[in-house]
Structure formats: C-alpha cells, structure tokens
Amino acid sequence: MNAFHSRVAAACAAFALIGAAAAAPTAVAAPRAKAAQPTKDASPMFSAQRQTEHRGEHDDLLSAGLGLDGLRAAAPPAFADPAHPTAAELRRRALWANWRGIADLAVGGGYGEVYGSVQRVEGREYSAYARLPGAHQPHRVLVQVPDAFDAGKRCLLVAASSGSRGIYGAIAVAGAWGLPKGCAVAYTDKGAGTDYFDLDAGLGVRADGSVGKPEDGDLAFLPSAAERAAAGGVAFKHAHSGDNPEADWGRHVRQAAQFGLSALDRAYPQQAPFTWANTRVIAVGISNGGGAVLRAAELDDEPWLDAVVAGEPNVHVDGARALYDYTTEAALLMPCALQHKPLAAMPAAPAGATAEAYCAYAAAHGLLGDGAAEASNEARAEAAYRQLRDNGWSDAALRAGALSVSFDLWRAVAATYASAYGRYAPAAKPGAGGSKYDQPWLPFAYAAADAAAKPPLARAAGANERAAWWSDASGIPPGAGVQLFAPSGGDPAQALAPLAGLRALWTGKSADANPAPGLAAAHRRVREGIAATRASAPRKGLPIVVVHGLDDGLIPPAFSSEPYVAMARRAGAQVAYWQVRNVQHFDAFLGLPALATRYQPLLPYVYAALDRVEAHLADGAPLPADATVDTGLREAGQALQASQLAIPR
C-alpha cells in the first residue's frame, strides 16, 4: 500500500528468439524436491505477448538509461508528443515514477552509496497478460532477463508490485537486487495496476502502455459494455475489475513465475527447459507485494518456491484486524487523535477539512463515547487517541500515520478496497438509471478535475492527461490528474458522512439516524470479499524472512506481520522476523528533511534478507535469526551512514 511516482516497440504475436546467444552453463543447480513442470493453474493463459530489447547508451533494464542522476531529476522524462507518447517513452517514464514512488533516492539518503544499485543492466523484457481461470480481467506479467544471466546459478526472482502500482511497481525491490546478480526477475501487477479506462472517451490502455480503443482487442482492462454505457469518469482495475484481486494475489505471483520460466526457455533455448526443479525461485515484495508473496508461500499443491522475503506485508490472518477494518477506523478518528498533545504527532487533516471537524463529527455520531458531544476539542482528541490505542495502534504507528492523513490515503484506500471486496461496478453517471451516485454505501466516483474550482469539479480528461496515466499513476486515485469525488457540501458533516458509510460496511451499523437502504446486504458483500483474502500457513520447510518497520503507520505490524508470523510458526513454518525501529512505511518520503532525521529506509533490510536467503540456498549458510533492530538516526544535513542501519549479521 504506497504513493508517488517507454518500452522499445516490437510487438509480436509470440516471442521471437532474438538477442544474445546463451553461453554454455558452467554448472546446473542440483535438482531439489520440486515439481518438474508447472501444473494446474499451472496452465495459465498468456496473451498479448511481447519481447523488447534494452541496450545501448540510452536504455537498460533497471532505469531505461536514466541512471541514478536521471531518476533523481525532479521532472519526469518528457514525451515528444504529449498526446501520443511512444512505448519507449512510456516505459522510461514508468520506471522513473516507480523508482521515485518506492525508494529514497535523495542525495545523502544512501541509495547507490550505502545500499542498493541502479547500475546499467542490459537485456530483454518479455511481457504478457495472464488470466486466472474465471477471472474477468487479466493481470500483467513481465520478465526481465539480463544479458549477463548466470546460467550456472539459474536464479529467478518473482515479485509483486507494492500498493496498486503498475507492472514496474517492484523494480526498486526485486530488479535492483536481482538483475545485477545475474538473476532474471518476473513481475506481476497482481490484478491492479495503472491500466485506467476513460469511460467518457471509451479508451483504455494497450499492452505497450499506449491508449487504445476496445476494438483494438489488446486492452489490459476493459469494463463490460453495460458498465461503459452507464458509468462516466475513470475506472481502474483494482476497484472495478469485478475480481477482488487480493483474494488471488498468491496465484498471480505463481503465474508470473511460470511466465518467468517460459521466458527463460525462449531467451536461452540451449539451456531449456527451465523448471521448478532446476531453477532457484525466490519471491520478494513489500507492502501489498509483501502480502502477495506470503500468499504465494501457502500454495503447496506443488513445491515451486525456494524462499520468500516479505517487507512490511499487508497480510490478513484469522483473529487479526483486517486492513479494511483499521483503515476505515483511521479515516474517521486519526485526524482527531493526532491533536492529542502528549502524542507529540504532526497534527494533520486532509485538504479541505480540519482536524476539529473530524472530532466534532465523531462526537456528534457517538463514536467517542458518552459525553463527547459536550466535551472540548482537547477532550475529544484524547478520547479518539485512547480508542485507537485500545484497538491496537502504537504511538509510533499513530505518529507515522499522520502522513496517510495528510495525503488523504485512508479515504483513498478505503474507497478502493470497498469497491474491490464488494466487486462493485463504477458509479453510474446521472441520467444513466441512477442518481449522481447510485451506490449509497459507496458514493464515490473518479474523474479528471478542474483544479481551479473550489471544490474541484469533475470534467472529461484531455488526451495529454490520458496518455500519461499508465506511466504516472500509482494505481489508486487521487493522483496523475484523476481525483476521487464524493458527495459534499458546506456542512463538514456532509463531507465526512461518506467515511462513516465506508466504516459501516465493516461494522454493519450506520452512524446515520436515517441510513440509506441496503446496508446489511452491502456489509455482507464486503465482509465476504475480505474473508476471501485471509492468509493460510506457508508450506513447511520453506525459508521465509519477514521484515517490518516498528513505526509503520499504514500497515502496522501489530495487525499484519506479527500475527502472521505467530500463525505460521504455530503451523510449523520456518520464519525469521526482523522488526526495525525508526522505520515507517514510505521510503520515498525520506527525501523530506523533517522525515530524514526521524526515520530510516526499509529497503536495506529487504536487500540484506535476500542476501541471507541466497547464501542459505547456495552455500548452506544458516538462515537469519529473529532480530529487533535498533537503528541510529541522522542529524539534519547528515548523509546516511551504514553503521546507523545496524543491519543484522
């Protein structure tokens, strides 16, 4: 779950066997007790297959030729024709946006000097749409095969995008570690991504990232004809696919790995076949991607994975709080609670609202207990704080949660996930058989906005905006020129009522004295979707390292990694757990001076965990032990020092 942000065109119906010839392997990894060939889904459907090459002075796999300096540039790489960018331009800009959305690339932040790499890695990319049996929409898969692939090691990393990001959403996590080591890297957008569909213009995104029409036949996301006729604005796959993609995250990861083996067969036919038995497969991801690889670890009908590294995973286990539960709670109460002075947090509220208005709304609707309606704002803030603490939030998580409040992430995440869990269609536009918002418990619509209007007004998107969605967006609006709209008015209560409605989809109880009809059915629908995302125990004997920052305010470890590790160990799983002090959810925000002196990045620990599992698999080195890492902090203006990270040894 996270928030900032072409391909060389050579489309073909099937992969062409082009590029550098493979060198003979010096040694083949010894067979292990893994299935020789994929089975079941396991015979995935791949379509819109493409192969592209990335070499020369101005292109490569990791950064499309930008290098660290180019990724640090404040402005994105420009399109020569903003309304019609080339596939190569789109790819370059998508890599720029995804690097900057995940990693702290600021000068002095340590990336490329203390940890991590953006070295030039030349090679090929293979991409396709993959579809699970019964799914309404495909997910993207992509494999990067470096020219310096180590045919002796036969290593394949498989990664899922963090948050709802597009296909390059794990480039800074998996690509940065695996490609320089000679590993191929397979990616999936896990059924989310940035393949937005403009319902007003009837245009979507093709396989190469360019804008296209439904009749083109290769759109990555295509709402049904009925939805296209009834709805307006913008639809996006995570919310509107009709598939509840989170329920299938693990299977998305496995399909990406299967496509990775197929791509290696095509890239190195002399060493084929590449199978689970003769290829080392390591899964890695952070945030939603971390949850996805843990879900992949439970797919034990065939032993296909060799190890898993999960950073700050959004993972839900039986008996623990679900993401939707604590997100909707935070959306309503956290802006109020952050005013509690002893917490020493950064007071915050989404734009267009005040923290006091949240306190007043919560008090008036009985969310803060008896007497709150007549209490002072200070007393209300304390009541909100106490309630969050009683429900499992730590002070560290609350302080870091101010970032999610400021960027309006709680509302954005809750609205998207409610739509996904309930498998809701995009909201109908006026005159298409409904009112302005035809789903009373999910009264949200997405559209381009007239930012000069106060409040912003929905409007049709322009060609330049639409052309950049695939490369620039994070997968969940607001962002990249697409806004999240809900009923509002001059009364703050009207603006906050939709948040209470999102909360009611979890609790089944409305804060409104005259609630809209259908709550019980909508509550059941969303809760059933959430139940389908619950994780099970991983395969016994599979090495797993879970890494989580103890200051995470978006996916607090108390609600996610901590109960997952406990559940997995009760089932006999082999799990190491690193808990890191002074690490919150968003490395990319550490370029802000106020945060650089308060927090450390998570990525160094993910890379270190990958180093440890690789040494275990290759050389029999012991797996890491549990660790609670006491990091040091930088002074203002000081560059990050390796000693401050205190990486477990």
Could you give the 3-state DSSP secondary structure of residue 52? strand
Token digits of residue 568: 């997995």
CA 555 from chain centre, in angstroms, equals: 12
Q: What angle do CA 488, 440, 355 make, to 5 degrees?
A: 40
Token digits of residue 135: 């799914």
- The whole-angstrom separation of Cα 641 and Cα 473 is 33
> What is the per-residue burial (b if ≥16 Cβ within 10 Å, else e) of 622-637?
ebbeebebebeebeee
- The whole-angstrom separation of Cα 313 and Cα 25 is 36
Instruction: Kindly give the pairing relationship between strand 155-160 and strand 280-286.
Output: parallel
HSE of 91 in the Cβ direction (CA atoms, 13 Å)? 23
Active site residue 63: no
Token digits of residue 426: 């995009």
HSE of 299 in the Cβ direction (CA atoms, 13 Å)? 29
Helix (H) or strand (E) holding 402: helix 395-406
- The whole-angstrom separation of Cα 471 and Cα 251 is 25
Cis peptide bond upstream of 478, omega within 30: yes
Q: Which of 162, 287, 404, 471 is catalytic?
A: 287
Could you give the 3-state DSSP secondary structure of residue 371? coil
Judged by phi (left if over 0) then psi (alpha if -120 to 50, else beta), residue 647 lies in beta
Token digits of residue 46: 């791949």
Q: Contact 111/53 with Cβ under 8 angstroms?
A: no
Q: 323: closest CA among 238, 425, 196?
A: 238
In sequence order, the 6+-apart residues with CB closer than 8 A to the CB of 402 are 334, 338, 345, 346, 347, 348, 553
- The whole-angstrom separation of Cα 234 and Cα 427 is 10
Q: What angle do CA 562, 567, 571 make, to 5 degrees?
A: 145
Q: Where are the alpha helices (DSSP H) in 14-147?
A: 67-72, 87-102
Q: 534: closest CA among 108, 239, 160, 248?
A: 248
Token digits of residue 422: 């309930």
Q: Where are the alpha helices (DSSP H) in 81-122?
A: 87-102
- The whole-angstrom separation of Cα 224 and Cα 226 is 5
* Helix axes 323-337 and 377-390, enclosed angle (nearest 10): 150
Q: 561: closest CA among 315, 265, 371?
A: 315
Instruction: Kindly give the pairing relationship between strand 123-131 and strand 45-54.
Output: antiparallel
Catalytic annotation, residues: 287
